[in-house]
Structure 1
Amino acid sequence: MYAALDIGGTKIAGALVDDAGSVLHRVERPTPARESAVRMARTVDAVIDALAVHCDWDGVRGMGIASAGPVDTAAGTVSPVNIPSWRGFPLVDCVRAHPVLPVGIEPVLLGDAVAVAAAEHWRGAARGFDNVLCMVVSTGVGGGFVLNGRLHPGPSGNAGHIGHISVAFDGPPCACGARGCVEGYASGTAIARHAVRAGWAPPAGEEPTAAAVAVAARAGDERAVGAYDRSARALAAAIAGTATLLEVEVAVIGGGVAQAGDVLFTPLRRHLRDFAALGFVSGLQVRPAALAGDAGLVGAAAAARGHTLAPHRQPAVG
């Protein structure tokens, strides 16, 4: 059995996951994202305490932590954009110090999108593939890689952060400091913003969200259809470029925007045929993610299990 934590801007979840990747027990607390670092840490402790009710911790073989990022897996610290009080916060040390953890368990930290990649490779839509790009398209756009059958988090744990690949040199400025980033075109926020600028409006009393735009697109609203087409084109450009560099075999798309289904995936596959033109990437598959809200927890458990986790440093050759 493995313990897992999934820390995001909305919720902090914990789970006990068995060796087959099934969630046995799950607990959750709201994230006090605008409160102090101490209050945040106490909420993490409360989740671990709640898990302890369901198990004998002596039977837990490892613990994984998926966190919103950026993360620094080498230092064990996190600086989630949506949790202002945590900047360089020593999350691994904080969890390791919890008195319920057995001596010898070393928590494994990874970014939340990297955890989703681990989960989809272990139990989901990327199972059976050795080279995978997994994307989470939601309020932002994140991602993670499996290369040669093993998770590839990179030296700091942030490899695969595809949302900040530029797809337009003179595109709109991004919060990261660059221009024309995928996130500025493809995120749920960007989809809703573009639809509104094109003249679409949500039903009275509702907020302009990507989900509402998807409903309008299914009903034939051309402005809504155009917003999703724009998002799909940016995603296709980024996916094709990544596949050309790394020869990934499949791209798995999850997150809230992926819930639009064919509204997103039909134009995405069409645009991908234009961008993925070279023969060695022309067979690239795009699949919706198979795992839902527990993907981060399952991926954290996969990392603790060592199922697909690649080392940070490769041995020197020669």
Structure 2
Amino acid sequence: MLAVDIGGTKIACGIVDSDGRLLRHATRPTGSEPFASLRAVVAELEVGAVDGVGIGCAGPIDTVAGTVSPINIPSWRDFPLVARVQELVGAPVSLAGDAVCVALGEHWVGAGQGSRAMLGMVVSTGIGGGLVLDGRPFAGLTGNAGHVGHVVVEPDGDPCTCGGHGCAETVASGPHLVRWARTRGWAGEDARALAASALAGDAIAAEAFRRSGRAVGLAIVATAAVCDLDLAVVGGGVAQTGDLLFDPVRATLARHAGLSYLRHLRVEPARLGTTAGLYGAARLAYSLI
């Protein structure tokens, strides 16, 4: 099965077999012409005949129309991705949100195995999420269910690219972490440097990650309360900082997850790293044939 993972900064493709083995994969920057980048990655993989294609794409998406309008890819608005990929590959195409595919991949062969009701969350350039309920992805009406990056955690907070204010993404995503720290005197360039500063004892950097973890934790608690979850699996570049993020996430759950049915709620780091979306996209395609 051909699996495709499309984000604001990179596009990855891979071949995944029915046992959940990633046989080969390739990645290109998304760039200013995303479909050209996608075509180049498919060509690099030398994809032959495949039974189907699974695509995880940054959202919003519309699974009914087969179109995508990713916030972080401004050149794609109502872009007919499903039809274009069908033309390119000549096989049936299944589409889901990128974070839905991360959740599905982790549920299939990663940290979410055995969960009955889980949230998969990606904390990176943006924040995405996806739900796997009773072993199946829950997409909602248009494919955007589980989009926890836009759960409001600061009602009077900063404007968000979605048009709202105070979304978790405005606090916890990598670029917002860095922006918040820089406005308070930290002089570094990116989230990786910010993490190094926090580990070295810089108070501003440490507070940036505390705020991020609290926002992620609040989004998880809100989603778990609505959907009665047993697990949240968190991945993405910011999540790779480990305890810098997960300590305040778990502290927030301890403080706010007070309902009796949330006492069993666990938060775990993702296991599959940057390939989780490929596994999930493949699983999506396998589930529909």
TM over 0.5: yes
**What is the CA-CA distance between 1:29 and the residue it aligns to?**
3.0
Q: Is the 8 A contact 2:111 2:270 kept in 1?
A: yes
Match of 2:129 among 127, 140, 143: 143
Q: Percent identity?
A: 51
Report the counterpart of residue 55 of structure 2 in structure 1. Answer: 65
- Root-mean-square deviation (Å): 1.8
Aligned partner of 1:85 in structure 2 is 75
Hey, what does 1:281 align to over in structure 2? Answer: 262
Return the match for 2:102 from 111, 116, 123. 116
Cα distance change of structure 1 residues 189 and 149 upon mapping to structure 2, 3 Å threshold: same
Decide which of 27, 38, 45 is 1:44's aligned counterpart.
Answer: 38
Q: What corresponds to 2:10 in structure 1? A: 11
- Kindly report which structure 2 residues correspond to 1:138-217, keeping only aligned pairs within 5 A, or say none: 138-202=124-188, 207=189, 209-217=190-198
- Give the structure-2-normalised TM-score: 0.94
Q: CA deviation at 1:172?
A: 2.1
Higher alpha-carbon Rg: 1
- CA shift for structure 1 position 173: 2.2
The CA distance in 1 between the partners of 2:71 and 2:61, in whole Å, is 10
CA spacing shift, 1:192–1:85, aligned 2, 3 Å: closer
Which amino acid is 2:59 matched to? G
Q: 2:117 aligns with which of 100, 111, 131?
A: 131
> For residues 130-187 of structure 1, what are the alpha-carbon distances to aligned partners after superposition, in whole Å with 9 as ceiling and x for unaligned?
1001110011111000112211121211111111111122222222222211111111
Deviations 1:192-230 (A, max 9, x none): 12222333222xxxx1x2221211111122221111111
Where does structure 1 lack aligned partners over 5 or more consecutive residues?
310-318
Q: Extract unaligned runs of 5+ from structure 2.
A: none
Contact 1:130 1:150 in 2 (8 A): no
What's the counterpart of residue 261 of structure 1?
Answer: 242
Partner of residue 312, structure 1:
none
* 8 A contact 2:71–2:161 mirrored in 1: no
Task: Answer whether contact 2:100 2:129 (CA < 8 A) is retained.
Answer: yes
After TM superposition, give the deviation of residue 4 of structure 1 in Å. 1.1
Aligned residues: 289
Following superposition, the deviation at residue 190 of structure 1 comes to 1.9
- Measured in 2, the distance between the counterparts of 1:304 and 1:239 equals 27
**Comparing 248-257 with 171-180, which one deviates more in the overlay?**
171-180
How many angstroms apart in 2 are the aligned matches of 1:13 and 1:305?
Answer: 18
Counterpart residue number, 2:286 = 305
Distance 1:242 1:82 in 2: 23
* Distance in 1 (alpha carbons) for counterparts of 2:150 and 2:79: 23
Q: State TM-score, norm by structure 1.
A: 0.86
Q: Is the 8 A contact 2:217 2:248 kept in 1?
A: no
Tell me the alpha carbon deviations over residues 98-118 of structure 1, each in whole angstroms, 9 at most, x when there is no partner: 2x52xxx32001111111011
- Residue 233 of structure 2 aligns with an amino acid whose one-letter code is V
Whole-angstrom CA distance in 1 between matches of 2:80 and 2:139? 19
CA distance in 2, matches of 1:199, 1:224: 10
What is the SS of the residue equivalent to 1:294? helix
